[in-house]
Amino acid sequence: MPVEPGDLPAVLAGRAGPAGVRSLLCGPLARAALQRALLAALPPGSSVRIRLRRSTFKPGRTLRAYYDVASCSDGTAGGCGPDWRRIAVAWTAAGAGPGPAGDAADPTEAELRDRGLAGPFSRLRLDDPAAGLQLLVAPLDPAFPQLGRLCDAAHLRSRLGDYSVTAVRYRPGQRHVLRLDPRGHGRRLFVKVYAGPAAPVWASATGMARLLGSWAPVPMLLPGDDAVVWPGAPGAPLSWWLRRDPRAAATRLAEAGALLRAIHDARPDRARAGLPAGPPLEDELAAITRTARHIGVLLPPVGRRVAEIMARCGDRLAGCAGEPPTVVHGDYKADHLLAGPDGLTLIDLDRCAWSDPALDLAKFLADLCWCSRTSGAAGAAALRARFLAGYGACPDERLARLQALEPLLLVKMAARRPRLHDPRWAGLTTALVAEADRLSAERVTSKAVA
């Protein structure tokens, strides 16, 4: 059933269910409203093509969506070229606060126009109160005023050389990643942009890269831009191989396990330098509960199952023996392991910290479960066994915490990775939560984990 403007409160409260959310994200009325907002800021006779990439939902507050938009001025969308622009849209409940653009247009929008980064749009913030949406066009983000400079080829030329810029991730108010492709000879670079000082992140990531040697690239700091530059590495993400050729990926899993073990076994006197303490485990559990709230609102029976898993695993963790913290990657998953001709390269070191090694293990095993389920590949148990064999024997207390944490990390993936606009969202989310429930019911034994 298409969502009318008057239905917005019901959708944002979750009362319209998954179908209502999906209709607001990609239904014909919503798409028409989005096109109207975009065309109001484009030259007369323009047309647009829109594709939805990502969506997130905070019940009672905000539904966010991230689209790619291609515009052309010949009056036919079929004539649009291959260049796409990132946009961010928010539908916000009354009283829940501003959308992605903040309370007012930011003065950096004028700077972006001066730099020639706005065109063909006459405005980069577009609001449509009748449709209840607020919209930002890349590279505008009031929370990241340096983003425009980093998208300006002239500014980059003065700092790094001659590059073209592509937004890999455009998340206003949250995070941004840019890809820099050399206009000639040179190496592809990736730029991660930070809302706060980037120097501490760069220092800890550099320390970790030097600790890992050939397994990780060394980043570069861009002072004054609060950004860290990473050199591109050869190979495709291990997640790509897991989806397309699980047998080939399996040969890399033992190396992935050995690499993680090398991180966890790093000498404390070398690893502590520059590495912050990781957040308390209680913060991670609270974050998972918040992240999964929309599951309970849209799928109440599944939400009750999530609550049971959280309680069961929380009780189990409370009874687990601890161990001294180690160096951790903080976001160890198949996307961050590039499989190249000379082995694996580990990227995204900006969450490296001094924390519980079981978190890294649980994250990777939950990620393996996700990759296996979404690719339809058989043999998930064999892939898991290869990784754990590469990691090697570890203390019983770490295994116990791993088995308590893995279902929680799988719940987190069930909350974040299935796309709300995907008609398969309910089925995939339910299946992932069911798998987390099964894992959480297993007895804590070394044999069960391995």
| Best CA proximity match to 351, nearest among 170, 175, 100 | 175
Q: What is the pLDDT of residues 177-200, one digit of tens each?
A: 999 999 988 899 999 999 999 999
The one-letter amino acid at 183: R
Domains parsed from the chain with CATH numbers: 1-139 (no CATH), 143-232 (3.30.200), 233-449 (3.90.1200.10)
**The two three-digit tokens of residue 450, written as one number:** 């391995």
**The two three-digit tokens of residue 22, written as one number:** 């999906």
Average pLDDT over residues 67-87: 71
Whether 5 has a pLDDT exceeding 60, the answer reads no
| Best CA proximity match to 388, nearest among 361, 360, 359 | 361
pLDDT band at residue 434 under the 50/70/90 scheme:
very high
The upper half-sphere exposure of residue 217, i.e. CA atoms within 13 Å in the direction of its Cβ, equals 19
pLDDT band at residue 3 under the 50/70/90 scheme:
low
Q: What is the pLDDT of residues 417-433, one digit of tens each?
A: 999 999 999 999 999 99
Burial class (CB in 10 A: 0-12, 13-18, 19+), 131: buried
The one-letter amino acid at 71: S
The pLDDT score that the predictor gives to residue 2 is 53
Prior bond of 418 cis (ω within 30°): no
The pLDDT score that the predictor gives to residue 95 is 57
4 vs 59, more confident:
59
The rounded distance, in Å, linking the Cα atoms of 360 and 326 is 11
Q: What is the pLDDT of residues 205-221, one digit of tens each?
A: 998 998 888 899 999 99
The pLDDT score that the predictor gives to residue 121 is 93
Per-position b or e across 16-36, b if 16+ CB within 10 A of its CB: bebebbbbbbbbeebeebbbe
Whether 416 has a pLDDT exceeding 70, the answer reads yes
How many C-beta atoms surround the C-beta of residue 77 within 10 A?
Answer: 15
